[in-house]
Amino acid sequence: MGVFEGLIIALDLGYSLNVSKKAELKNKVVQNGGTVSYVVTRKCHFVVTTDPEKCDVSSKCRMAIKHGLPVLKLDYIWDSLQMQILLPFDLYVVGGKSKTLDFKSGKIGRA
């Protein structure tokens, strides 16, 4: 079972990442059981961005926030792959909200 098994991960990849790195990222997610989406929908589990500073102006990040999805730093993917486990979002969140903390419902769930 892959690190990202069953997860739909939306990518907001800016110009700072070259084409070969973007392809490598996509391949790693897919090889580890995830699905890559370039459109942010409610079905996505989270959004990964290469440019956290522009999160407030990125249409994908704004859509993630609208849907209550966490927006994470790109390092989340690489660090999870390196550790071979799905890491907690908390250290990587740059926008939106962490799904591990849902205080409205009174529940604290797992990522």
List, in order of start, the domains of the chain with CATH numbers.
8-95 (3.40.50.10190)
The whole-angstrom separation of Cα 33 and Cα 53 is: 29
What is residue 97's predicted lDDT score, i.e. its pLDDT? 64
What is residue 95's predicted lDDT score, i.e. its pLDDT? 82
Q: pLDDT tens, 91-102?
A: 999 887 654 444
- Region 22-49: mean pLDDT is 95
In this predicted structure, which of 15-19, 20-24, 68-72 has the lowest mean pLDDT? 15-19
What is residue 78's predicted lDDT score, i.e. its pLDDT? 96
- Region 50-78: mean pLDDT is 88
Task: Residue 70: name the closest of 30, 10, 17 by CA.
Answer: 10
